[in-house]
């Protein structure tokens, strides 16, 4: 429960960083490293952690890139923002 809340709060914070820097792959890299580190701290097996890290890197890169791409269109931006918080469940 707390891990899910932490990931969603991390996504929100990184979204603010994206607005300030316009660097989507920096945000996705930070997200991937932090969540992978949390998996390792929770003693998740290494193979599972590496597979999850690859999936998280791909989905978060797409998410932050789409947010950056649609930053000029408020409707599309907020649609991607709210629908993309689902990657916090991955």
pLDDT in tens, the chain (90 residues): 788 888 888 988 999 999 999 999 999 999 999 999 999 999 999 999 999 999 999 999 999 999 999 999 999 999 998 888 776 665
pTM of the model: 0.89
Q: Which of 6, 63, 12 is nearest to 34 (CA)?
A: 6
Alpha-carbon span 64 to 22, nearest angstrom: 9
Alpha-carbon span 16 to 4, nearest angstrom: 19
Burial of 46 (0-12, 13-18, 19+ CB in 10 A): exposed
Burial of 45 (0-12, 13-18, 19+ CB in 10 A): exposed
């Amino acid at each position: 429960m707390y891990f899910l809340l932490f990931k969603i709060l991390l996504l929100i914070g990184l979204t603010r960083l994206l607005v300030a820097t316009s660097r989507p792959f920096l945000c996705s890299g930070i997200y991937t490293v932090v969540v992978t580190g949390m998996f390792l701290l929770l003693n998740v097996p290494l193979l599972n952690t590496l597979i999850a890290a690859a999936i998280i890197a791909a989905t978060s890169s797409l998410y932050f890139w789409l947010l950056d791409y649609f930053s000029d269109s408020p409707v599309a931006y907020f649609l991607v923002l709210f629908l993309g918080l689902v990657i916090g469940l991955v």
